[in-house]
Amino acid sequence: MSEDPRGSFEGKHEFTVIGQPLPKIDAWAKVIGETKYADDLFLPRMAYGRLLRSPHGHARVGRVDTTRARALPGVYAVITGADLPRVRFGILPVSQDEEALCTEKVRMVGDAVAAVAAVDEETAERACRLIDVEYEPLPALMSIEESLAHPEVRIHEYGDGPNVHKNVSLQFGDIEAAFARADLVREDVFFFEGNTHLPMEQHAAVAAAGPDGKLTLWSSTQTPHYVHRLLAKILETPAAHIRVVATPVGGGFGGKLDPFAHEIAACRLSQLTGRPVKIACTREEVFYIHRGRHPVLMWIKTGFTRDGDITGCHLRTWLDGGAYGSYGVASTFYTGVINPVTYKMPVYKFEGARIFTNKPPCGPKRGHGTPQPRFALECQLDKAAEQLGLDPAEMRKRILAEPFTKTANHLTVTTIGLGECIDRVVEASGWRTKWRGFRSEGASTAPSEPPPEPGRAGGARARTRRGIGIACSAYLTGAGTAVYWNNMPHSGVILRADRSGGVAVLCGATDIGQGSDSILAYLPAEILGIDPKDVHVHPADTSLTPVDLGSYSSRVTLMCGMAAIQASQRLREVIAQAVARKLEVEPGALAFRERKVGVAADWERAVPFAQAVELAETTHGVLAFAGSYAPPKRAGKYKGGGVGPSPCYSYSACVVELSVDEETGEIELHDVWIGHDLGRALNPLLAEGQIEGSVYMGIGEALMEGQIFRKGVHKNPSLLEYKSPTTLETPEIHTFLVETDDPEGPFGAKEAGQGPLLPVIPAIANAVYHAVGVRCDEVPITPEMILKGLELRRQGRPARVGPARIPVFTFKAPVVVESAFGQPADAIAVRPFQP
């Protein structure tokens, strides 16, 4: 069989399962309320746990007295950090800075210091209030500026400087020479406020320790494998005696990717009480767990030729990391390394720093570190297009990156469907008739003056002005390296065929709503010629399923998909041999379809699939086959080159049309057109759903979502105060799927679940400018910002609202590497784990 997973499918455009808008395999359970999320588990004798969390943003922890809590009737156990091994942990090996229950210091409001297991939640809650904790408050540092201004108040003792978690600097080519070549050099400063995932399901975990010392944890986690590894370390219990099951996740978006205090406390409490223990977090606690979008301040300097070509780009980012490391080192790199993937950017310099503050820790939210610089770059492109007198859509089309080449920072790019994405959204939105040039900057357009067509909003209120904006982006399809370095598969699948004609798929992948369970049914069904309903998917159980690293970095469809294809091909080969013997034909002549195996020209003699399985089991024995996948090793050969490589990149283009009310500053979105190059839509319905969800989330980030802190305290830790879009704020979303059939992906597929968020935010900012001539260089864009910009315009000053200055900060001397821009892509190497 060919090395190319698709090579054996000559009629690949005659798929029976791939490309069909099938319901998800778990949709039926979800619409009848049968799906069991973590908090839906009720075990006999189960105790209920609660965490006691710090009310201080920064404090030394003194004596923790649990006497009164223990004495409360109905309390089974009370634990503090002293009841856990003194082990610090963190998701990244380089940032081992967390404790489940803090022993020396708390670093944010919401850090856990003790935990209780009791007969019910109410008793556990009451017991928490009876725990006496002595705190010695320390100054809480609540912003990048404060943390840098107070090196004497150290949040952590490690890092690249006082309160500096990470300081990176990379340079590819001669950046000064690149600016010298430019006709226009722009410097702009942007700020992207932090926001949170806000999954509808609050995190919950149930732990059950047995008298044999074995432990099972059911948890709403996106990464059972990493939780499994870290639990062994944290609890000092052999990993072989721990089983982690990821229950169906009620929304993740990156917020359930770390090991958390409630999971660890549930395990320890179960070990101590001999009962199953459930800890279900409240909505407020979920805001403290966080790991969401980093607030990022950005300075970006880009050189352009008069035709709009980029000569070089220099980006500086400052990330407000919050109280712990989490994925922050990766986040820091991601604010820089994906930028050169979208457009021709021959020279690139990136400097980034992540600063600790006494706020909930930031981490990987949908788009991980890339929406912030994307906002900066795409808004700057809009400004440059205006100065150069170019149509921003045409300018972008002109400078698209070249397929199958390398970027300045040595990333291999394969297929690029961005040109088609732009064409589709430009066409569908009526861009050419609606855009018709930039509004002139400054005070030349008096607000009382009737807006030029198409600035008038349907002749309704004259104070409302309509605008249209465009932006583009690229995103990775799976991180090229694991969170811990190793040479093992990133994803594994075991496929077992049984005599009924059913096929079981075992895979560690975690369905967070994106449909990974369904993908694991569709791919084997396509290859084996059976119905997805014949496939039984058993996901995310560390004692049963081969490792899949987790649902993050848009890696699952590609990586578990490739592993599933490999396992399916191995099964198919053995079945084909057995059927070929019976039919006395060559195995290669056999087709698998309609639950039969046979020769197309002689289909009457085709063997039913169940019988084919029996023939194969008779000769081969039990039919169980493994598939493995690891991405091609393409890390750039420089320090830091491990973040950014991916098997392939998705591309998106977005046009937004909106109205701005000049009296109130309110923005109303009318339509969003989004074109997304996803390689191939394995299921267009699911792909559209991912794209629509991404657009929605981008809208929230652009217009309303933001973490607000006052006097060291989270000001809006609830679903009412933390605004997110409802059906009324979410406009019609018009999705266009662009297929490029990428050689790296399963049946050509690339990601669809994160990339489409990225262009939405700058497209909105650019549309606001088109509508009212106000440049909002900060998100979320609020009515106050619009009104401030309009006021500036009235005063004849530049109508720009956004950050005015950047921190005084010294970046490291850069790692200087030759630019690899334009070099041919690395050949698609023989993948690991192929026979």
Partner 1 sequence: MKARLSLTVNGEAHDVLVPVHKTLLEVLREDLGLTGTKHGCELGECGTCTVLVDGAPVLSCLALPVDLAGATITTVEGMAEGGRLHPLQQAFAELGAAQCGYCTPGILLTAQALLADRPSPTRQEIREALAGNLCRCTGYTKILDAVELAALRIGVPR
Binding footprint of partner 1 on the chain (CB under 8 A): 21, 23-24, 26-37, 39-40, 42, 197-202, 248-253, 282-283, 512-515, 685-686, 688-689, 692-697, 718-720, 724, 726-728, 730, 732-733
CB atoms closer than 10 angstroms to residue 811: 16
Of 38 and 101, which has the nearer Cβ to partner 1? 38
How far is CA 521 from each of CA 33, 340, 504, 557, 608, rounded to the nearest angstrom? 22, 36, 9, 12, 19
Quick one: 15 or 37, whose CB is closer to partner 1? 37
Handedness of CA 71, 75, 81, 82 (dihedral sign): positive
> Which amino acid would we find at residue 445?
T
- Tell which residue, 120, 135, 133, 112, has the closest CA to residue 72: 120
CB of residue 288 vs partner 1: minimum separation in angstroms?
15
Minimal distance, residue 365 CB to partner 1, in Å: 11
Segment holding 78, helix H or strand E: strand 75-80
Classify residue 399 by its DSSP letter: T
What is the closest distance, in whole angstroms, from the C-beta atom of residue 56 to partner 1 in the complex? 24
Q: Please give the distance of CA 449 from its chain centroid, rounded to a whole number.
A: 44
> Using alpha carbons only, what angle is made at residue 292 by residues 286 and 298, rounded to the nearest 5 degrees?
150
What is the smallest separation between the CB atom of 253 and partner 1, expressed in angstroms? Answer: 7
Is 57 or 753 the residue whose CB approaches partner 1 more closely? Answer: 753
- Select 199 or 636, whichever has its Cβ closest to partner 1: 199
**Rounded (to 5) percent helix, strand, coil in the chain:** 30, 25, 45
Decide whether 259 or 515 has the Cβ nearer to partner 1: 515
198 vs 738, beta carbon nearer partner 1: 198
Measured distance CA(42)–CA(827) in Å, rounded: 52
| Single-letter residue type at 740 | T
Beta bridge mates, 355? 164, 320
Strand partners for 112: 53
Closest CA to 535 of 558, 578, 567, 492: 567
Radius of gyration of the chain (CA): 27
Grouping H, G, I as helix, E, B as strand and the rest as coil, residue 514 is coil
Taking the least distance from each CB to partner 1, the nearer of 293 and 831 is: 293
Minimum CB distance to partner 1, residue 726 (Å): 5
Instruction: Give me the least distance between CB of 749 and partner 1, in Å please.
Output: 17
For the bound state, the minimum distance from the C-beta of residue 35 to partner 1, rounded and expressed in Å, comes to: 5
Shortest spacing between CB 481 and partner 1, in angstroms:
28
What is the number of other CB atoms lying within 10 angstroms of the CB of residue 780? 20
Identify whether the C-beta of residue 656 lies closer than 8 Å to the C-beta of residue 430. Answer: no
Nearer to partner 1, 202 or 407 (CB): 202
Closer Cβ to partner 1, 256 or 555, answer by number: 256
Q: Give CA separation, 177 vs 310, 376, 617, 817, in Å.
A: 13, 23, 67, 15
Minimum Å gap between C-beta 326 and partner 1 is: 20
- Give CA–CA dist 279/51, Å, rounded: 8
Strands (E), 716-789: 732-738, 775-776, 778-779
Least distance in Å: CB of 41 to partner 1?
Answer: 9
CB closer to partner 1 out of 480 and 689: 689
Residue with smaller CB distance to partner 1, 271 or 557: 557
Question: Shortest gap between Cβ of 757 and partner 1 (angstroms)?
Answer: 10
Dihedral angle sign, alpha carbons of residues 262, 268, 269, 271: positive
- Beta carbon of residue 31, minimum distance to partner 1 (angstroms, whole number): 4
Kindly tell me which of 529 and 539 has the beta carbon lying closer to partner 1: 539
3-state secondary structure 21-58: CCCCCCHHHHHCCCCCCHHHCCCCCCEEEEEEECCCCC
Instruction: Please report how close the Cβ of residue 223 comes to partner 1 at its closest, in angstroms.
Output: 16
Nearer to partner 1, 36 or 794 (CB): 36
Cα→Cα distances 484→93, 447, 549, 559, Å = 7, 57, 10, 17
